[in-house]
A and B are shown apart, each in its own frame.
Chain A
Amino acid sequence: MENRPLEYDYTVAKMFMLTTIVLGIVGMTIGVFIAFELAFPGLNTILGSGLAEYTNFSRLRPLHTDSVAFGFTVSGIFATWFYVGQRVLKVSMAESKFLMFVGKLQFWLYVIGVAAAVVTLFMGYTTSKEYAEFEWPIDIAIVIVWVLWGVSIFGLIGIRREKSLYISIWYYIATFLGVAMLYLFNNMEVPTMLATSPAGETNIGDWLHSISMYAGTNDALVQWWYGHNAVAFVFTVPIVAMIYYFLPKESGQAIYSYKLSLLSFWGLMFVYLWAGGHHLLFSTVPDWMQTMGSVFSVVLILPSWGSAINMLLTMKGEWQQVAASPLIKFMILASTFYMFSTLEGPIQAIKSVNAIAHFTDWIVGHVHDGTLGWVGFMIIAALYHMAPRVFKRELYSKSLMAAQFWIQTLGIVLYFTSMWIAGITQGMMWRAHDEFGNLAYSFIDTVDVLHPYYALRGTGGLLYLVGFFMFAYNIYKTMTAGRRVEESELQNASPMGA
């Protein structure tokens, strides 16, 4: 050991890079498939009516959302943590056998949890709460995986050489704490096998089944406090952590204003949690909470744009890099989409807009310009940045990457434009009255009109998926066929330049 210089150890990062790509393909493929099911309902029985139960929209929808959120995105978070964490703390995982063990254990438990989740969701085991569909044994597994990740974070921090914590570490810590709190409280449930009948029978029925600790309106309140902030702590906070590391590193530019990054951190932490009420406007939760949700959603623009503008200004004077490097393109478009969806969200949270937008495809469009544009692009960019460094090989193809960028960007544009039109059209038709005060349209009229937009949306999704396959291929070829490079060559040059 003495003669070998210390190196960062990316074993666990590589493992999670693999699941990021695999689960990304799974989740996005299901997504494209169910998008086309809405345009062409015949696809619901594509494998014959015998298997229709497993190919119909409603059974697959939670599989899509959960595999992109907890599969693709969470894997991406873990992969980047096991890369960024070591580097900014200047400590290698090779220095601690314990942390290495914990990291690997976390990976394998995660894989087991994912497998169990996929099987149970296919079978129809679901709690019905969005992004918290898993039944209680899987919830317990998720908690264990999460605690192990916490051990990794704080363990690595404990043996660090760098005294101060870089802003990305702040965001990773917040991700850990936020998801832990939200997930625990929203998944409070009682397994029904604990009940005893008056006749003394126990363990009745299916052991996997459970019911929520909260009822009705309270359950909705907790669910959307969770649902909205799962978006915060899975789709925003850790992705901000990534861009604060990868964009400066890739471009060689220091963050435009480090102080602004600290301020927007606290702003985001405080404001985000209030905004969940905007999912429940005009529902039966108390009015003051709805108003609070609406107001804080608008306030949320400030810290969100604080981060996003900080990222864009980091490129000040270096804009030629955006033209030259597809990797920088991915990140700049990601922060642009972040600005865009954090403006769109507050607009939808205004009560009078929400009256039209709620329950329509506009909301779906909003989620996807955030996830495809911001989350997806940032994770793709992070993996492209990491690949040459963890595999010590040059990126396989820069032109493939540029092609991927344009194909996926076109896909996103088709996706959100079609969903805007679909959502607003349907929202307006629902509320239209004729001159006698009767409803102008039956419900099915408002569905018929959506067909072309659903087809367009599916096409947009398909383009994004094609781009994702190009990404997977590019990474695979980098691993196996890229030109070998020494780590030292990569330190200050982008792999693009190599």
Chain B
Amino acid sequence: MFHWLEKHPFFFAVGVFVVIAFAGLIEIVPNFAQASRPVIGTTPYSTLEIAGRQAYIKNSCNACHSQLIRPFKSETDRYGHYSLSGEYAYDRPFLWGSKRTGPDLHRVGNYRTTEWHENHMKDPQAIVPTSIMPGYPWMFTTNADIDTAYAEQLTAAQFFGVPYNKPVPMKDGSTTVVKLGNSIAEAHAMALEEAKAVVANMKDQDVKDAVARGEIPEIVALIAYLNRLK
């Protein structure tokens, strides 16, 4: 039998495939059947938060920052409660990262403010003198791509059943609804409302002016996203 396999390249290839597919079948398939139910209190991302998340991905923040708190005292002391699977239920893609050149960000919204992020993103060394993080000044002048963020929300709702416009249970027993705009124009209007709330705590006059004009710089979206990480 082995001999025959060695001389018949097609069946040999099939044999190799079976052997290498084996682990994937055992490990991954069963988990898919039951994983990733959202924990109570986890809501889908708003349009502005998605735009911020896209900015986070665009600049590969995940190359240096993890979003995964391991269940050790040293980590929970530093970053907060360890991460739970259901907290990531709406994360497409996941952003756990694999390297902590900078600190974990999974609960950064609990201990950093809008103002802190604003100053830090513009010039990290102004806040942490020996930081090796580069500044991201272009995020203050480049506008966030709200159209694509809206398209991403629609895709999540239409292809993966993410519960937009539906009540989502919260920790205190109440429910909350994350609204999804009916049209591009409405999505823009909703994102702008959120942006105004963020900008109220910011100092940069150019960013404030831009939002007043109806534009949304990337930094505003990014801060909305980072503030939501709790």
Contact = CB atoms under 8 A, between A and B. Distances in A.
A193 interface: yes
Interface stretch (B156-164, B200-208, B222-230): B156-164
B211 interface: no
A408 to B, nearest CB: 25
Interface stretch (B84-92, B113-121, B166-174, B189-197): B84-92
Interface string A111-140: 000000000000011111110000000000
Contact of B133 (A41, A272, A433): A41
Given A124-B58, A165-B6, A221-B31, A181 B83 contact: no
Contacts of B154: 192, 195-197, 204
A363 B134 contact: no
B57 interface: yes
B215 interface: no
A212 interface: yes
Interface in A336-372: 355, 358-361, 363-364
Contacts of A209: 54, 148, 151-152
A323 interface: no
A366 B156 CA distance: 37
Chain A interface mostly helix, strand, loop or mixed?
A: helix
B151 A363 contact: no
B21 A62 contact: no
Interface in A184-233: 185, 190, 192-199, 201, 204-206, 209, 211-223, 225
Interface in A142-200: 154, 157, 163-165, 170, 173-174, 177-178, 181, 185, 190, 192-199
Interface in A422-457: 430-433, 438-439, 443-444, 447-448
B183 A447 contact: no
A273 interface: yes
B13 interface: yes
B68 A447 contact: no
Contact of A444 (B16, B84, B130, B149): B130
A214 B151 contact: no
Interface string B8-47: 0110110011011111100110011001100000000000
Interface residues of A, number: 95
Given A163-B7, A284-B83, A439 B64 contact: no
Nearest to B6: A164
B155 A197 contact: no
B151 A273 contact: no
A190 B135 contact: no
Given A266-B19, A269-B16, A126 B92 contact: no
A417 interface: no
Contact of A127 (B78, B90, B93, B184): B93
Given A163-B7, A216-B85, A363-B98, A44 B27 contact: no
Nearest to A267: B19
A177 B13 contact: yes
A177 B54 CA distance: 33
A485 interface: no
Contacts of B1: none
B64 A174 contact: no
A279 interface: yes
B31 A286 contact: yes
Interface residues of B, number: 91
Nearest to B101: A38
Contacts of B54: 209
B131 A444 contact: yes
Interface stretch (A51-59, A240-248, A376-384, A467-475): A51-59
A87 interface: no
Contact of A174 (B16, B90, B95): B16
Given A41-B134, A222-B28, A447-B130, A126 B60 contact: yes
A195 B101 CA distance: 36
Contacts of A197: 150, 154, 181-184, 187
A58 B57 CA distance: 10
A212 B150 contact: no
A360 B98 CA distance: 9
Interface string B136-157: 1110000001011111101111
Interface of A: 37-38, 41, 44-45, 49, 52-53, 56-59, 61-62, 124-130, 154, 157, 163-165, 170, 173-174, 177-178, 181, 185, 190, 192-199, 201, 204-206, 209, 211-223, 225, 266, 269-270, 272-274, 276-277, 279, 282-286, 289, 292, 296, 355, 358-361, 363-364, 430-433, 438-439, 443-444, 447-448
Interface of B: 6-7, 9-10, 12-13, 16-17, 19-24, 27-28, 31-32, 35-36, 54, 57-64, 66, 68, 70-75, 77-78, 83-103, 125, 128, 130-138, 145, 147-152, 154-160, 181-184, 186-187
Given A206-B151, A283-B96, 9 more contacts: A124-B59, A195-B151, A205-B147, A211-B152, A220-B96, A221-B27, A279-B98, A360-B99, A447-B102
7 contacts: A127-B93, A128-B62, A181-B17, A216-B88, A216-B89, A277-B27, A439-B77
10 tightest A-B contacts by CB? A216-B88, A205-B148, A199-B183, A195-B154, A273-B23, A44-B134, A284-B85, A205-B147, A124-B58, A205-B151
